[in-house]
Structure 1
């Protein structure tokens, strides 16, 4: 192996005169994608986000319109308790105005009870009742989806059966019919004698001649 000359100019200076080749991973494609190729961006645009939110609101509004009051025992029980609490709060509000001039202490106690009842009613509405409503709506939506899938399967099965029947009918029409065989008569097939019968007749004729 030959030894490089240390007196060469490139070995006498500290400057880097050569060039390093870039890695293939850092290179960008020079050609643009075809016109039929659609590059989907990774991040969603504002219009897409707005459209998704609008569709979600419409879906929620449709579910609320159909299944706002689920016909379940638990929902009815909680709703009854909610109405009782609201009625008691209204009665206490009216009573507090009546007894304000009589005793301020009683009025303040009633106001405290009113606030407590309102908090309980809000808790039932936004945590218990809403949770039951959402679970019922989700169940009905999934049930509707299952029914749609079952209906689609039935339609596809009917179409498949109809197609098979049509193919079978075409196969029957294309198959040539075999000619009906003539019934064999007393002397073989029709009026023609079989080979055995002919041989017997020839033998009988020879015997008569002898």
Structure 2
């Protein structure tokens, strides 16, 4: 993996919600932060619950803690939900995770922000993900959106992701964003909500 250039040499992203500053060509950043989309920025979990509810499934928080929903449903129903997600339109109208817009805007004051989503798991989702980001996070430049598979290719200081498996091979520090399916995972750093993001990230700067 190539070396991350010093913060003082990095080109600024277009994500610059800074008062009285319309456009800044170059800025010094403390860190480069890569942020996952699904269950971190976009509430994929709620949308998947709705798909399973339409097939007659309801689960308590205790039942889904540490489990993937597809493992709790019948194999045929799980396959149908997976097929619907593979068509891509599922990703078009997801709700925004509570506090994500405010939390990411706060981080963007001092850090270079990239979105890194494993979209290759659902190739048809790509145009919908890009449109979703443009609608809900318009200050994030398209040049700062990475649609990938293996996130070990990402060169960043921090990766905020709900799937700890993406930290394997990643050259920076992984921060696990809390989600029902990862509650049983042992991780070094866990972010439970976006309100705490700025304080947690400041400890790595």
Q: Judging by fraction of residues, say which structure has more strand.
A: 2
Higher-Rg structure is: 1
Give the shorter-chain TM-score range: under 0.3
Q: Which has the higher contact order (CA 8 A, sep 6+)?
A: 2
TM value normalised by structure 1? 0.19
